[in-house]
Chain A
């Protein structure tokens, strides 16, 4: 949780007095509650900083670099750091493709002073999850090499069109790195190519990682425990603000619809996504699927990039999934329940009666309805629509004027 202020204070400047007082035990003597509170406060701060008007990089190409060196068999995260990371990554990959359906991801591991790509840049989450799950078989050995991993990622990211947002996320468990050359040259290359690198360190802050993030405009974090690790990891699911030199262009996309051929002339064909599959699963013959409008190749699921003609195929709901990033719900104002006690008894959305344990209630700035803490988190994290604004004619008119006209 390092803050990137330039005026960072050092111990001798008495900037770090009694830092242990930030973490306090709750009534039963456990520390979990206070770490959860720190996470909660950081989440609210992040939400408060988000605006609706910054341009976001929606078509993301993210490379995940996973450290597979010796120190990942350390048992400070249960059962080992490697297994804990793999478990969290499965959830991360699912959520990433859910929130960014038109993005692509690739996975690189680094160990024994080398870097290896275990999954190519692709938009299919299942392939990546399988590759990550197979990592449990791979033994952790040697030292990681940050420069080799970055060079390997850069080689693929260099080829991408200019409107795509290029990112690298590094999960670093070791405090050392073994590089063949000068890593500052690599950092300068990354900066010139516009690649945004972020690092999540599992052990402690390492100066070169922090410098890498600062130069390229990424986020740097050090984890406290596994819940905090999950929180830091999931921070990268939201699209980052677009770099200023990201070109905006019109991307040609196809919108195939599902066709089923009925009757006697129905031909059984195989889809292009599974035509190369060596294992038995997935390659089934059927008579329906999505046909590319340009070259008529068949695919069984969307979104996909057509192998024959290179056209990106999506369906309208996939694009709609990303709209809420562009039109987020404004933050609610936090009020003390004691002040509102005589006016309001129930939360507007879930009808929960407010009690003594509700210290704060939340008010929407547009429709002035009051919500409880659970509904506030639910609305901002999952629902992305304020029920008060959506059930009121005057506010819903202004909502629809701002947002994109639909089909």
Chain B
């Protein structure tokens, strides 16, 4: 068979922020999510030997790579793993590495001072890091090989409006680089991430029951993007792309846009609140001189 095997790269962004409602309620939820995600990651690697994996943890203070492991954490430890329970070595390696890296991340975090209790997860930054990693891997690809990449976000956070700019930059870059963005939301509907899935052609799913996380991941998010056309997956959510005006945050149909900073207002105002430019108020319409009818007497 001369067919080129296409590599599929999966980057998982796991939201481990302890301020999420799910984790504050019951800390065991994190262990459950982590086990489901690791099982999902191993299933992805099992599909094809050419498949690749990366995983990031988006924590309260920073975002770090869990897999491939940062070498500083392991020093010069040779990766000689013995088989445990007859499990395939690669899976053991993935599981052990992810658990160890996450453990070290959490321990490092508890030692330093706590950030405020209500701090949001900086998912946009984690997505930006994932895109840089994907970009590097695509550059290193040997010629003649293809790779399709996707990012899966597993999060229990609420929508965050303050990261709008970063989110939009990330979505447009992902669209241009042909990276699909999938989102698995465990808590509530996140309209910004829904827009991202729509822009990049990915899937958005809100899970009704946390116990079924692994089932939902395997059913919806395991097939790679070229195969998804042949499957029947949950239909895309209707995203409302209307803009919200900056003064009242209401969705509007017709608005006024400042030509300098592109901020949107629902009614005319003489000064733009964002960039403070003064607008020329629309003067009276020029009156056309009436044409005199020539009397034909």
A residues lining the B interface (CB < 8 Å)? 55, 58-59, 98, 163, 242, 247-258, 293-294, 311, 315-317, 319-324, 326-327, 345-346, 348-353, 374-375, 378-379, 382-393, 396-397, 399-400, 403-407
Contacts and interface: CB of A to CB of B under 8 A. Distances in A.
B274 interface: yes
B166 A294 contact: no
21 contacts: A248-B258, A248-B277, A250-B279, A252-B254, A294-B254, A315-B242, A321-B172, A350-B132, A351-B70, A375-B132, A385-B128, A387-B129, A390-B125, A391-B125, A396-B162, A399-B166, A404-B246, A405-B164, A406-B164, A407-B191, A407-B243
Contacts of A311: 254
Contacts of B176: 98, 382
Interface in B63-121: 63, 65, 68, 70-72, 115, 119
B132 A385 contact: no
Contacts of A399: 165-166
B135 interface: yes
B148 interface: no
B136 interface: yes
B249 A379 contact: no
Interface in B257-271: 257-265, 268-269
Contacts, number: 208
Contacts of A390: 122, 124-125, 128, 163, 166
B165 A400 contact: yes
B3 interface: no
The 3 A-B residue pairs with the shortest CB-CB distance, nearest first, are A406-B164, A390-B125, A391-B125
A20 B264 CA distance: 54
Most buried by A among B62, B171, B259: B259
B39 interface: no
Nearest to A311: B254
B242 to A, nearest CB: 5
A65 B114 CA distance: 61
Most buried by B among A252, A385, A388: A385
A350 B133 contact: yes
Interface of B: 58, 61-63, 65, 68, 70-72, 115, 119, 122, 124-126, 128-129, 131-133, 135-136, 139, 161-166, 168-173, 176-177, 191, 195, 199, 238, 240-244, 246, 249, 251-265, 268-269, 272, 274, 277-280
A391 B246 contact: no
A256 B242 CA distance: 7
Contact of B199 (A252, A317, A400, A403): A317
Nearest to A397: B162
Given A255-B254, A351-B65, A400-B165, A319 B262 contact: yes
Nearest to B278: A248
A294 B269 CA distance: 21
A281 B246 CA distance: 40
A249 B177 CA distance: 35
A346 B136 CA distance: 13
B128 A248 contact: no
Contacts of B240: 257
A254 B255 CA distance: 6
A406 B68 contact: no
A317 B257 CA distance: 14
Task: Tell me whether chain B's interface is mostly helix, strand or loop, or mixed.
Answer: mixed
Contact of B163 (A316, A378, A386, A400): A400
Nearest to B199: A317
Contacts of B58: 391
Nearest to A323: B165
Nearest to A352: B136
A253 B255 contact: yes
B280 A251 contact: no
Nearest to A371: B132
A49 B209 CA distance: 53
Contact of B241 (A253, A315, A392, A393): A315
B63 A255 contact: no
Contact of B165 (A257, A397, A403): A403
Nearest to B68: A351
Given A252-B255, A390-B122, A396-B166, 20 more contacts: A58-B262, A248-B279, A250-B257, A251-B259, A257-B242, A258-B238, A315-B242, A317-B172, A319-B262, A350-B132, A375-B135, A384-B169, A384-B173, A387-B128, A388-B125, A390-B124, A391-B58, A391-B125, A391-B128, A407-B161
Nearest to A164: B259
B126 A316 contact: no
Contacts of B191: 407
Given A248-B258, A385-B170, A396-B166, A255 B243 contact: yes
Given A374-B136, A390-B125, A407-B164, A249 B280 contact: yes
A378 B259 contact: no
Most buried by A among B163, B169, B258: B169
A379 to B, nearest CB: 7
A256 B253 CA distance: 6
B136 A255 contact: no
A250 B246 CA distance: 14
Contacts of B177: 382
Most buried by A among B115, B166, B171, B255: B166
Contacts of A346: 70-72
Contacts of A257: 240-242
Most buried by A among B132, B171, B191: B132
B278 to A, nearest CB: 8
Contacts of B263: 404
A35 B61 CA distance: 44
B132 A379 contact: yes
Contacts of B265: 250
A346 B133 CA distance: 12
Nearest to B128: A387
Contacts of B70: 346, 351
B90 to A, nearest CB: 19
Most buried by B among A257, A327, A386, A404: A404
A406 B161 contact: yes
B261 A387 contact: no
Contacts of A349: 128-129, 132-133
Contact of A387 (B125, B241, B262, B274): B125
A393 to B, nearest CB: 6
